[in-house]
Structure formats: C-alpha cells, structure tokens
Structure 1
C-alpha cells in the first residue's frame, strides 16, 4: 500500500475520532479544506512540518499518523530493490538470464 494513502486513512480516522470536520482541521493548520481532503485521499505528500501541524490539530502524537506502516526491514520489495542497486545492472542481467 502507498504510504501516502495509509497516512491519509490514518488522518481521516483520527479526525473522525476527534469529532472534527475537514474544515475544522483545515482552520487549525492554516490550509483550505481541499488540502485536508487531498491529504486524506493520499494524493498529497506532506512535509514533516505539515505532519507536526496535523498531529497538533488532531491532538495526537505525530507517530499516531504513521501507525500500521510496514517497517522497512519487513518490506521485501524494498529490500530486493536496494540489493539489486548494490549489485549493479550487469548482475541483474545475469540473474534474469540464469
């Protein structure tokens, strides 16, 4: 799952748990409602500062916004991609041919 989408799901869940509308969150962090909507839809790539403002607006820890994200050590696709970059393009060609 795309981390932006998971982040958006978490923001929406935490916002609803806090009984806040998108507009109320937007007012608290100084953006328009469409920005909050895009965050929740997973189409925005927020900065760490934006995440901090969102966590303050929702009254949660910043880590709560990132709950249930897959750990990098457990992400086999990422591990394979990193390993293939270390071996270089020639090693990848030989692996696919073998």
Structure 2
C-alpha cells in the first residue's frame, strides 16, 4: 500500500510540475502566487511531500484550474 502511495505522490507531483511549466511559471513565482514556500512546492513536485486537500486547493487556484484538473494525470507518461 505505501509503495502505491509514493507512486501517486510522484505522479501528482510530476503532473503539477507539467501544469506549472505550461502556465509559464517558475517554481518560485508559482510558490509566491500560492503563498507557499518554494522548497515545499519543490517537495510536492518531486513526490516527497504529501500535500493536504487545503494545499491542493491553493495549488489549483494558483494555476487557475479546478482541483480535479490536478488529478487528471492518467494520460501522462
């Protein structure tokens, strides 16, 4: 079960990074926009941090997306 959890964290993080880059935002600019520390955003993108639903909501708002869009990574490689 825990192996699966780290996999979903890694996939979520990779998808978040992809969306951030598509939005043309540096990690620092995105973190500032969300009111989060850049190192925390980095940890999420690398799959080592497990963001709460509240943080995921803030990330989605920072990207101008609905929360569900942050989980739409089944089509990602």
TM-score after normalising by structure 1 = 0.66
Higher helix share: 1
Match of 2:39 in 1: 34
Structure number, greater radius of gyration: 1
Partners in 2 of 1:37 and 1:15 — Cα distance?
12
Partner of residue 50 from structure 1, selected from 24, 47, 55: 55
Aligned residue pairs, count? 69
Larger RCO (CA within 8 A; separation ≥ 6)? 2
Q: Deviations over 1:33-65 (max 9, x none)?
A: 111111100000100000000000011111111
Q: Which runs of 5+ in 2 are unaligned?
A: none
Match of 1:19 in 2: 24
Match of 1:61 in 2: 66
Partners in 2 of 1:10 and 1:61 — Cα distance?
14
TM-score after normalising by structure 2 = 0.83
Segments ≥4 residues shifted beyond 3 Å: none
